[in-house]
Amino acid sequence: MSDPDSKIIVALDYSNEAQASDFINKVSPELCKLKVGKELFTTAGPQFVEKIVAKGFDVFLDLKFHDIPNTVMKACHAAAELGVWMANVHALGGQTMMQAAKEGVSHSSTKLIAVTVLTSMGQEDLKQIGIQTGIVQQVVNLAQLAKQSGLDGVVCSAKEVSLLRQSLSEDFLLVTPGIRPAGSASGDQKRVMTPADAMAAGSSYLVIGRPITQSDSPVKTLKQIVLTQKSV
Ligand code: C5P
């Protein structure tokens, strides 16, 4: 079952460190990578991130920076200093911001990816914020902009992976949330896919939160997903 580069990134969407630690103590870096998002980072702080990095986990710091270039560059530099494996920004911040973000991590091995369109958003949501471009075209445009800005990859829906691969090289990372094992609730995610289908489509890494963290047996569920994803 062990994999030196696990493809599963568990979203630690817990409200406090104790709950997150309870899960982390039952898993290993070979089984999964860990994603720390806004809620847990706000409550548990950078010391918590350093603690799980020290345990050997690849940590994706999912703070989706979106601000003026200088601020984002410094925030990305600070993220890299924590020793995280991956950090991210919103592609909607534009090319200058993404280039500055990349400069911020350039002294480190931290990978930097961009969020294209949140997987919780549909066409109607885009219209409401003034974006008339079709959702898929919007994802393609932003992914190409991220690539041109020197980023290592993008966050996107698994439904967009095969299309993106047509215009982006194999080494460009496609990190896909909105993953739902067959039979689990989609919640607020609108563009979902099963783990096996997402891997078959060409996702580089799968981000999975609630199907694991809200399961009655989170570790058992994670191990089942690892097995199904490997059988692809
Ligand atoms: O619980 P669920 O599997 O939907 O969690 C998905 C995780 O991926 C959440 O932490 C969410 O913030 C994150 N994410 C996302 N869509 C993006 C980028 C990140 O759902 N475009």
Q: What is the pLDDT along the chain (232 residues), one digit of tens a residue?
A: 445 689 999 999 999 999 999 999 999 999 999 999 999 999 999 999 999 999 999 999 999 999 999 999 999 999 999 999 999 999 999 999 999 999 999 999 999 999 999 878 889 999 999 999 999 999 999 999 999 999 999 999 899 999 999 999 999 999 999 899 987 777 877 777 999 999 999 999 999 999 999 999 999 999 999 988 765 5
Dist. CA 228–CA 121, nearest whole Å: 27
Ligand 1 atom nearest residue 118's Cα: 21
Given CATH 3.20.20.70, say whether it is the number of domain 8-223. Answer: yes
Q: Which residues pair with residue 140 across a beta bridge?
A: none
Per-residue model confidence (pLDDT) at position 231: 58
Ligand 1 proximity of 37 Cβ (cutoff 6 Å): yes
- pLDDT score for 2: 46
Active site residue 64: yes
Give the type of residue at 46.
Answer: P
Instruction: From 157, 163, 151, select the one nearest 198 (Cα to Cα).
Output: 157
Give nearest CA residue, ligand 1 atom 15.
177
Q: Which residue has the tokens 């103590």?
A: 25
Cβ of 92 closer than 6 Å to ligand 1, yes or no, is no
Query: Using N-to-C axis directions, what is the helix angle for 95-105 and 135-148, rounded to 10°?
Result: 50
Whose CA is closest to atom 10 on ligand 1?
11
SS3 229: helix
- Residue to mutate, 9, 10, 12, 13, ligand 1, most ligand atoms under 8 Å from C-beta: 13
